[in-house]
Structures are given as C-alpha cells and as structure tokens.
Chain A
Amino acid sequence: MSNLAILPILLPLLTGIMLVFINKQKTLVKVITGIMVFVNLAVVSWIGSVVFQEGPLVLEAGDWPAPFGIVIVADQLAMVLVITTNLIAVASAFYAFRSLDEQRERYYFYALFQLLIAGVSGAFLTGDLFNLFVFFEVLLMASYGLIVLGGTKEQLRESLKYILINLFSSILFVTTVAFLYSVVGTVNMAQLAERVADVEQQGILTTIAILLFLVFATKGALFPLYFWLPRSYSAPPTVISALFGALLTKVGVYSILRVFSLIFIYKLEFTHQFFIYMAGFTILFGVIGALSTNNVKLIVAYNIIPAVGFMMAGIGVFSATALAGTIYYLVHDMIIKAALFFLVGTMAAISGTYDLRKMGGLIKHHPLLGWMFFIAALALAGLPPFSGFIGKFLLLKGAVEEDHYGIVAVGLIGSLLILLSIIKIFLNGFWGEARLAPEQEKASENGRLFPVALLLIFTIALGLGAEFFYPGIQGIADSLVDPSIYIDAVIKE
C-alpha cells in the first residue's frame, strides 16, 4: 500500500497537533511523547524493511499521476535517514524529560519537537523540489520556535542571526526554483532529471545548479557559508542543540546529495570538482574553529562543520564507493553528534559551566559518563571498531581510486585535528583533580545517560556490524550513481 510512504510525516505531525490541545497536562504530554516516539520508530523501521525488500514506495498524493501531482518517494536512502532521525528523536525526547526546565516545557516544546521531526522526515521523503522547500520551511519554522524558546539574552541574539540567514537562503531557494521552472518547466525531481538529461545540462542549468548548491550549502553549513552555525547552535539548551546538530545540517547535505546525484550530473568536471575544493576548505576551517575554543558545547558545534566537509568530499568524488562512504558517514554523524551534544550537556550541567578550564576530574565521580565520552570521541575521530571508521575509510578509498589525493591528505589531517579537539575535552574535563565534590555538583547525571547509551549502542553496532549494514548501503550508493532507477520508480510509463 503506497500510503505507507506518508506515515513518517503524518504521525509526528498529528502527535504535534494533539500535544497542542493537551499542553496544560504536563505528565500526559510527556507520556504521549514518550509513547509516540517509539511508535514512530517502529513504524518507520517497518516501512524501511518493506522498502529494502520490495524497492521504493512511491505515493502519488491525491491520486494524481507522477509529474503532475506531488510525489512522496520512500526509497532506501530516504528511509535510512528517516529511521536515523526517529532514533535521534527517541533519544532526544528522553533527554528532554530529564533536562528541560518546566518553563520551556510549558511553552510547547514537545509540540515543536514533533513538528521538527515531521519537517525533517518530509524533506527526506519528498520527490518534488518545491515541496522540498515547503518542508525546509516546516522544519525551519519549528527550529525558530525551538532556538528562541526560553528567551535568554544569548538565545535572542543568536536566533536573530539564525532567522536572518535562513530567511535569506530560503528566498534564494524560491528564486532558484523559479529560474529552474522557467527553464525546464517542472518541479518534479524525476521529470527534472529527465529534462535536464535531454539537453545535457547546458550553460544556464549549470548556473542554476550552483545557485541551488549555494542554498543547500548555507543550510548545511559549508565553507564559506558556515559562519552562522556554531554560536546559534550552542545558544539553546542541550537537547535543542543536539536536535539541530544531528538533523538540520544533514538535511542540507541530503538535498545536495539528492539533487547532484539525480539531476545535475552532466558537468561533473566543473560542479563536482568545485565540491571537492569546498569540502577541503570546510574540513580545515571547521576543525580550526573547533581547536580555537574552550567552550565544550562550541567545540562540538564546530565539529559539525568538518563532518559536513567529509560528506561533501564523497559527493564530489562521485563514485559508488565514495557515495557509500558518504551515506555511512551521514548516518554515523547524525547519531554521534546527538550523543556528543548530550554528553557535553551533561558535563556542563554537572559542573555548572561550559568553560573547559573550570572543569576537571569529572571521571572520579562519573566514570560511566567519562568512558561514554571517550567512546564517542573515538567514534567521532574514526577509530577502527566504531562507525566513524567505516564511513571515512570508504570515503577516502573512493577518493584514492579516483586520484583525488589532495582531499585524502586534507581528510586525514582533518581527522587528526578532530581527535585533538575532542580529546582535549576528555583530558581537561575528565582527567586531573576533581574540582567539585559530589554534593557541590549542580545537577545529577541520573537518567541522562540512557539516551546516550542508546545512541552509542548504535554507533558500535554500525561499526562492528559493518558486514551486515554494508551491502544495503552499497546498494543505495549503486542506485545513486544510476539515476534511471529513481526516475523509473517515480514516472511509470
């Protein structure tokens, strides 16, 4: 039944609406949120298994045939990302129960949270460029609400920047879609791909492609358009930072991956070469930012940027191996960024400060937290038993096969510096003399470690169980290199 494809969007949307009705009963809101995140995860996992067994599900909304109506395309790539999104939603919901203050919960946090998930799932699943814009706005509107929720001075300042930059890139998005529609005459992605192929992506289409890339690069924080990200992502409370860090930039990366593996693939020597340079600079500048600060949350926020750079490198190289690496890294990075934000949030809550120089010796009273952070740090840097390794390995292998040695060198140096930046938190925050006795600590770690443990289990499983996951991911990458699979699934002649 093709209606399955809409459920990952519909369930969180309906839950969000329901939570607005019952906003005053706080316990009931939490109970429903807690149940619905699990229901969602179960439903999308089931849909995912259906998609992996029987091929992409295509829903033609309103029973209009493909190029004329809106299509929701649940293919393997989209489903993998939607499942990861819902996994992070489960962890975030339970972290929020433990960490969020009552004031924020009262002003519709859980409703906005559900709408954010609906927007992100919609952006992954849509098969229509203008509908992608609409879902971008759905998730951005929810994120505007979340970033300013609570109204502290810092949040107000950073949300202003965040909204301005995102409004600007949204305006550019609409303009670009208008250009594309006037040239090609459709906004359905599959038909766009056919028509761009017909004229072999002549001059104006490459210009539009680069404009579209700039839009997604702003949303996904690539060099030199990442300047807004670190501070706005570290201003709101931890659980909101984690949601943003794990989901929002990845939607930008996914959009680039989709558009530049499906539609604009006929001037590779220009567009994708350009991506590789962008990726190299993104990795270097992001990691320099991460090394430059002593604010634990800011270090993690800066680390989002080189990760986006790695994914872009894979898209730039554009071979099946490199794309498999990109997808593996994308899934890994969504999970590990959420886990890291939760961990540093817990550290900061316990020690009452975000400044690394004022922390120390946390491992004495919190060994579990300490070793979890250590595992997360190694996974982030890409050490072998964990998931980061497989993704980076495939990426760099793909790059070497296509003779892009420059990006390989940058990637390896970048990884080393990422390890340096994150292990600095471990050495200064957990090692050394304990600064605070247990009774002086500002918060307890109780209950906050379960969501992190859930995410870390998946990181380890993705690393150790690579044999199990790899064929599926490789299959997705193979289908990305050949756009006719997607086009045939959507447009049935």
Chain B
Amino acid sequence: MRLKNVTNDLILKTATTIIVFLILGFSVYLFFAGHNAPGGGFIGGLMTSGAFVLLYIAYGFQTMNRVVKIDFKTFIPIGLTIAVLSGVGSFLYGQPFLSHTDGYFHLPIIGKAHLATAMIFDLGVYFTVIGVTMTIILSIAKDEGEQVENAE
C-alpha cells in the first residue's frame, strides 16, 4: 500500500506560491486585452483555472478545500446569467438582442479608459469557462473508483 501525504514537496509548494500570482495576473491581463489584442474571456478563464489547478496539484484537496471555500459549479450558472443578461440589457433601450455599446470614461488612477458593454459578456464567458474547467477536473480527480459523492 502506498503511503499518502508524506511526500515533501517543498520546492513545488514554494514555487507555486509565487507562480500562481504570475499566472493569475497574466490571465487577468489576457481577459482585459481581449478587445484590441489577442486574449478574451475564454483564454483568460482557462488561464485562471490553470492557476487553480496548479494550486490543487501542489497542496492537495484537503488544504485547498480548507483555504478556498468556493464551489466551482456555481460559477457556471453565474457566468451564463451574466452573459445572457448582458444581451437582454439591450431590451431596456429598445435595441435588438445583444446590441452592445461603448464609450470613453475618466476613471481615477487609470485615467481615460475605453469601456464597452461587450466586456460584461466576456466576464460571463470568463466565469463559465472557469466553472466548467474546474468542475471537470475536480470531479474526475475526486472519483477514486469508490462511490464518492459526486463533487458535492
């Protein structure tokens, strides 16, 4: 029988704590870059889930479930709701479904910024992708051949 939880992954864990923030930062950059450069909600979401997966690999289920108390499954309906409602929002202004608008705003710190409602749709995609990816990976990882309660 293989001994569990006795491996000493000091290097992996130390490296992970630094790298995860780099990946998360890069994923957020990709998410915001989407309008004018390669990137967007899909790749940003995948990258974010990549960071989470790295955390799970380095620290294992028990620790992660204690630290990150998130049910990734709820990300899916939240993301879908945001995406669909960003399309429905155009109803309020008498415009066809999924009409988007944009404008220039002056924000504190950042200064002049180009904000578009397409961003809200992208946020929905971002959440959905995180939710789906993490649900798939965690459900498969938890299923150890026994009748484990399915990703509750």
Query: Which of B80, B81, B94, B97 has the most CB atoms of chain A within a 10 A radius of its CB?
Result: B97
Q: Which residues of A contact B77 (CB under 8 A)?
A: 17-18, 20-21
Q: Which residues of B contact A17 (CB under 8 A)?
A: 77, 80-81, 84
Are B81's CB and A3's CB within 8 A? no
- A203 at interface (Cβ–Cβ under 8 A)? no
- Out of B74, B81, B91, B95, name the residue touching A63 (CB < 8 Å): B95
Are A3's CB and B84's CB within 8 A? no
Bound Cα distance from A60 to B99, whole angstroms: 9
Q: With A3-B91, A10-B88 as given contacts, are A62 and B80 in contact (CB-CB < 8 Å)?
A: no
- B76 at interface (Cβ–Cβ under 8 A)? yes
Q: Please, which residue of chain B has its CB at the minimum distance from the CB of A21?
A: B77
Interface size in chain B (residues, C-beta < 8 A): 16
Q: Which residues of B contact A72 (CB under 8 A)?
A: 97
Q: With A17-B77, A21-B74 as given contacts, are A2 and B96 in contact (CB-CB < 8 Å)?
A: yes
Q: Which residues of B contact A6 (CB under 8 A)?
A: 97
Q: Which residues of B contact A61 (CB under 8 A)?
A: 96-98
B84: min CB distance to chain A, Å: 6
Q: Which residues of B contact A18 (CB under 8 A)?
A: 77
Bound Cα distance from A429 to B95, whole angstroms: 57
- A14 at interface (Cβ–Cβ under 8 A)? yes
Are B84's CB and A10's CB within 8 A? yes
Q: Which residues of B contact A3 (CB under 8 A)?
A: 91, 96-97
Bound Cα distance from A10 to B87, whole angstroms: 10
Interface flags, B28-69, vs A, CB<8A=1, else 0: 000000000000000000000000000000000000000000
Bound Cα distance from A134 to B84, whole angstroms: 16
Q: Please, which residue of chain A has its CB at the minimum distance from the CB of B94?
A: A1
Q: Please, which residue of chain B has its CB at the minimum distance from the CB of A107?
A: B150
- A13 at interface (Cβ–Cβ under 8 A)? yes
Are B88's CB and A62's CB within 8 A? no
Are B96's CB and A62's CB within 8 A? yes
Bound Cα distance from A436 to B80, whole angstroms: 50
- B100 at interface (Cβ–Cβ under 8 A)? yes
- A276 at interface (Cβ–Cβ under 8 A)? no
- Out of B84, B95, B99, name the residue touching A13 (CB < 8 Å): B84
Are A10's CB and B81's CB within 8 A? no
Interface flags, A1-41, vs B, CB<8A=1, else 0: 11100100010011001101100000000000000000000
Query: Which of B76, B77, B81, B91 has the most CB atoms of chain A within a 10 A radius of its CB?
Result: B77
* CB neighbors of A among B90-144 (8 A): 91, 94-100
* CB neighbors of B among A372-414 (8 A): none
Bound Cα distance from A122 to B91, whole angstroms: 19
Bound Cα distance from A6 to B95, whole angstroms: 12
Q: With A10-B88, A14-B84, A17-B84 as given contacts, are A59 and B74 in contact (CB-CB < 8 Å)?
A: no
A432: min CB distance to chain B, Å: 43
Interface flags, B67-85, vs A, CB<8A=1, else 0: 0000000101100110010
Q: Please, which residue of chain B has its CB at the minimum distance from the CB of A61?
A: B98
Bound Cα distance from A61 to B76, whole angstroms: 24
Bound Cα distance from A13 to B95, whole angstroms: 20
Bound Cα distance from A224 to B49, whole angstroms: 44
B120: min CB distance to chain A, Å: 14
Are A63's CB and B99's CB within 8 A? yes
Are A62's CB and B84's CB within 8 A? no
Q: Which residues of B contact A20 (CB under 8 A)?
A: 76-77
Q: Please, which residue of chain A has its CB at the minimum distance from the CB of B96?
A: A63
Are B84's CB and A59's CB within 8 A? no
Q: Which residues of A contact B88 (CB under 8 A)?
A: 10
Q: Which residues of A contact B80 (CB under 8 A)?
A: 17
Q: Please, which residue of chain A has its CB at the minimum distance from the CB of B73?
A: A20
Q: Which residues of B contact A10 (CB under 8 A)?
A: 84, 88, 97
Bound Cα distance from A309 to B91, whole angstroms: 42
Query: Which of B81, B96, B99 has the most CB atoms of chain A within a 10 A radius of its CB?
Result: B96
A67: min CB distance to chain B, Å: 16
Q: Which residues of A contact B97 (CB under 8 A)?
A: 3, 6, 10, 59, 61-62, 72
Bound Cα distance from A408 to B76, whole angstroms: 52
Bound Cα distance from A478 to B98, whole angstroms: 33
A152: min CB distance to chain B, Å: 15
Query: Which of A14, A18, A60, A62 has the most CB atoms of chain B within a 10 A radius of its CB?
Result: A62
Bound Cα distance from A10 to B97, whole angstroms: 10
Q: Which residues of A contact B91 (CB under 8 A)?
A: 3
A470: min CB distance to chain B, Å: 34
Bound Cα distance from A15 to B7, whole angstroms: 47
Bound Cα distance from A61 to B100, whole angstroms: 10
Q: Which residues of B contact A14 (CB under 8 A)?
A: 81, 84
Bound Cα distance from A1 to B90, whole angstroms: 13
B103: min CB distance to chain A, Å: 16
A39: min CB distance to chain B, Å: 16
Q: Which residues of A contact B100 (CB under 8 A)?
A: 62
- Sample of 5 further A-B pairs with CB below 8 A, known A3-B97, A61-B97: A10-B88, A14-B81, A62-B96, A63-B95, A72-B97
A-B contacts, 21 of them at CB < 8 A, read A1-B94, A2-B96, A6-B97, A17-B77, A17-B80, A17-B81, A17-B84, A18-B77, A21-B74, A21-B77, A59-B96, A59-B97, A60-B96, A61-B98, A62-B96, A62-B97, A63-B95, A63-B96, A63-B99, A72-B97, A107-B150
Residues of B participating in the A interface, judged by any CB pair closer than 8 Å: 74, 76-77, 80-81, 84, 88, 91, 94-100, 150
7 closest Cβ pairs, A-B complex? A20-B77, A62-B98, A6-B97, A63-B99, A17-B80, A61-B98, A17-B77
